[in-house]
C-alpha cells in the first residue's frame, strides 16, 4: 500500500508539471498570435478619427458654399432649414429603426435641434459680419467641448488636450489676422456664438448617451430635431416661399446639402461614437485649414506667411489629437 501511494503521488506531481508546461506553451502561442494580429485594422478608435478627419473636409466647405447660396438669393435661415430637411427625407427609411430606440432617438433629436439653431445663428452672422470674425467665434467649439466634457461627464482634462485646444484658437486667430472690434460688429457677431455651444453639446450627445444608436437612424433623428426647430423660424421670416426656384439657388443648395451636411454628418456620427467628443472636436478643427485653402484656391484670397503658420498650427493640433489615445477616459 505504501508503494502504491508513492506511485499515485508521483503521477499527480507529473500531471501537475505537464499541466504547467501545457499552460506555458499555450501562453506563448497566445502571445505570438497577439503579436502577429493586425491590430491597426481592428482599432475602432483610430478608424473613428479617420472618419472625423474626412468629415472635416466637408464641413470646411461650408463658408464657400454657404456664401454661394446667399449670393443666389437664399436666406441664411432657409439654407440651414433646407439642408437639414433634405437629409431628414433621405434618411427617412431608417425612421422605424430610430423609433425602436425611443429614448436615445429623442436625445439625439434634441441635440440636433440645438445644433441646427446654432448653425442658423452661424449662417446669419456669416451674412452680416466679416467671415474672419465669424470664423474665430465658431472655432472656439473645442474649448466648449473640453469644458462640457469635464463638467457633464466628469472626465479629467489632460494638459495636452488644453494645450492643443489653445493651439487651435491661436492658429485660427493668426490665420484670420487682426479684427477691428466695434459695437456694430459685436451685435452682428452675436448669433455666431450659438454655433460652438450647439455643436459642442451635440458632440457630447453623439459620443455619450447616443453612442450605441446605429449611425443612419442617428442621423435621421438629429435631422428631424433640426428641421423641427428651424421650421417655425423659416415660416415666420420667409413664409412658404422658402427658396427662390432658380437653377442657381437649387444647385447651390444641393451642393451645400451634400458636401457640408449629408456626407459629413454620417461620418462624424459614426466617428464620434468611437473617438470620443474631445478627439472629435480637436480633429474636426482641421476643417478650418480646409476652409482657408479653399478660399485661397477658389475665392482668390491672399495667403500670407502668418496665415500659413496659423493653418500649420491648427493642423498640428489636429494631428496630435488624432495620434493620442484614450480621449474618452
Task: State pLDDT tens for residues 268-286.
Answer: 999 988 888 888 888 888 8
Query: Within this chain, do residues 8 and 55 fall inside the same structural domain, yes or no?
Result: no
Together in a domain, 27 and 166? no
**SS3 state at 208:** coil
Say if residue 252 is in the same domain as residue 116: yes
Q: Are residues 31 and 91 in the same domain?
A: no
Quote the domain boundaries for residue 126.
44-323
In a domain, residue 328? The reply is no
State how far Cα 48 lies from the chain centre: 10
Q: Are residues 26 and 175 in the same domain?
A: no
Report yes or no on 179 lying in a domain.
yes
Residue 329: inside a domain: no
**Residue spans of beta strands (DSSP E) within the chain:** none
- Indicate whether 220 belongs to any domain: yes
pLDDT tens figures, 182-238: 777 788 888 888 999 999 999 989 888 788 899 999 999 999 999 999 999 899 888
- As a whole number of angstroms, the distance between CA 284 and CA 286 comes to 5
Does the model's pTM come out above 0.85? Answer: no
Q: Is 96 exposed, middle or buried (0-12, 13-18, 19+ CB in 10 A)?
A: exposed
Q: State how far the Cα of 66 lies from the Cα of 63, in Å rounded to an integer.
A: 5
6-15 confidence digits (pLDDT tens): 444 444 444 4
Same domain? For 29 and 103 the reply is: no
- 163 and 182 inside one domain: yes
Winning range, highest mean pLDDT, from 42-46, 299-303, 304-308? 304-308
CA-to-CA separations, 235 to 30, 81, 108, 115, 327, in angstroms, rounded: 64, 10, 24, 19, 41
How crowded is the C-beta side of 34, counted as CA atoms within 13 Å? Answer: 6
In a domain, 277, yes or no: yes
Distance from C-alpha of 321 to C-alpha of 153, rounded to nearest angstrom: 19
In the chain, pLDDT over 70 holds for what percent of residues?
84
287-301 burial: b if 16+ Cβ within 10 Å, else e: bbbbbbebbeeeeee
Q: What's the pLDDT band for 26 if we cut at 50, 70, 90?
A: very low
Task: Report yes or no on 118 lying in a domain.
Answer: yes
Q: Let me know whether 245 and 300 are in one domain.
A: yes
Cell numbers 442621423 correspond to what residue?
Answer: 219
Q: 126 with 10, same domain?
A: no
- Structural domain count, the chain: 2
In this structure, the answer to whether residues 92 and 231 fall within a common structural domain is yes
Residues 11 and 113 in one domain: no
Amino acid at each position: 500500500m505504501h508503494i502504491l501511494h508513492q506511485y499515485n503521488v508521483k503521477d499527480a506531481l507529473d500531471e501537475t508539471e505537464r499541466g504547467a508546461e501545457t499552460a506555458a506553451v499555450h501562453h506563448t502561442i497566445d502571445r505570438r498570435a497577439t503579436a502577429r494580429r493586425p491590430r491597426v485594422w481592428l482599432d475602432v478608435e483610430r478608424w473613428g478619427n479617420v472618419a472625423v478627419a474626412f468629415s472635416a473636409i466637408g464641413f470646411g466647405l461650408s463658408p464657400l458654399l454657404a456664401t454661394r447660396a446667399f449670393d443666389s438669393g437664399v436666406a441664411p435661415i432657409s439654407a440651414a432649414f433646407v439642408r437639414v430637411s433634405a437629409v431628414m427625407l433621405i434618411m427617412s427609411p431608417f425612421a422605424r429603426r430610430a423609433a425602436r430606440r425611443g429614448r436615445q432617438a429623442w436625445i439625439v433629436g434634441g441635440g440636433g435641434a440645438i445644433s441646427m439653431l446654432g448653425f442658423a445663428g452661424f449662417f446669419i452672422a456669416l451674412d452680416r459680419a466679416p467671415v474672419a470674425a465669424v470664423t474665430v467665434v465658431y472655432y472656439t467649439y473645442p474649448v466648449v467641448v473640453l469644458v462640457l466634457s469635464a463638467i457633464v461627464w466628469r472626465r479629467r482634462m489632460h494638459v495636452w488636450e488644453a494645450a492643443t485646444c489653445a493651439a487651435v484658437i491661436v492658429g485660427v486667430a493668426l490665420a484670420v489676422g487682426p479684427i477691428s472690434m466695434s459695437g456694430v460688429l459685436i451685435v452682428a457677431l452675436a448669433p455666431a456664438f450659438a454655433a460652438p455651444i450647439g455643436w459642442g453639446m451635440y458632440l457630447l450627445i453623439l459620443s455619450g448617451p447616443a453612442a450605441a444608436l446605429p449611425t443612419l437612424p442617428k442621423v435621421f433623428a438629429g435631422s428631424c430635431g433640426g428641421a423641427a426647430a428651424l421650421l417655425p423660424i423659416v415660416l415666420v421670416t420667409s413664409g412658404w416661399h422658402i427658396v427662390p426656384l432658380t437653377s442657381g439657388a437649387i444647385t447651390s443648395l444641393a451642393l451645400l446639402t451634400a458636401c457640408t451636411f449629408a456626407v459629413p454628418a454620417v461620418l462624424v456620427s459614426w466617428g464620434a461614437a468611437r473617438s470620443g467628443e474631445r478627439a472629435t472636436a480637436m480633429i474636426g478643427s482641421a476643417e478650418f485649414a480646409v476652409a482657408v485653402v479653399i478660399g485661397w484656391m477658389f475665392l482668390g484670397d491672399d495667403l500670407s506667411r502668418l496665415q500659413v503658420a496659423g493653418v500649420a498650427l491648427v493642423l498640428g493640433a489636429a494631428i496630435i489629437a488624432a495620434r493620442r489615445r484614450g480621449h474618452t477616459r
